[in-house]
Amino acid sequence: MSPVIEVHARARLITDGPLTRPVPVDLRYDPADERRTVHIGLPDGTDWSFGRDLLERGLRTPIERGDVRVWPCGRTQLIVELHSTDGVEVFQFEIRTLIRFLARTRAQTPATAPDTGREAPPRPPSRTTRPERGTPERGARTEQRDARAGRGAQTARG
């Protein structure tokens, strides 16, 4: 079994204010997951998961799948826009960080799904709350997440 790939990276949180701010994010890939899923873990404990192909295609051209939009921004940046009931969060990544991460994930994955002999269909994006270490009770995690809600998240305007 191949090891899980986890990269601690920095992204810039884009807000409607004049300043952006750097935030730590976790990029994670587990080869045991179906459909070549990647995860982006945010500082508030939210985990977004979606097909690796979404990031790969977003490096070259704008793409949208469900609540996730990805597009290149110049030669060195990638924008990842995440929509949820809490609002919209927009992150700017260094492309080279994502290229290195994706290259490592491809090295861990065969070109085809082992049971079908062909590529698995794209996975719809999903958003979950990661369990906090040392917090055994789910209700406590939910209360902590709710208390932090809105920190860094911007409400969609329209």
What are the chain's domains? Answer: 5-148 (2.30.31.20)
Per-10-residue mean pLDDT of the chain, 158 residues long, equals 87 87 94 84 92 94 95 95 92 96 86 48 65 45 41 42
* pLDDT at position 107: 87
DSSP 58-109: HTTS-EEETTEEEEEETTTEEEEEEEETTEEEEEEEEHHHHHHHHHHHHHHS
- 108 near 5, Cβ under 8 Å? yes
pTM above 0.75, yes or no: no
* pLDDT at position 71: 97
* pLDDT at position 28: 96
Instruction: Return the exposure string of 108-125: e unless at least 16 CB atoms fall within 10 Å of the residue's CB, then b.
Output: eeeeeeeeeeeeeebbeb
**Residues 6+ away with beta carbon under 8 Å from 50:** 37, 38, 65, 66, 68, 123, 124, 125, 126
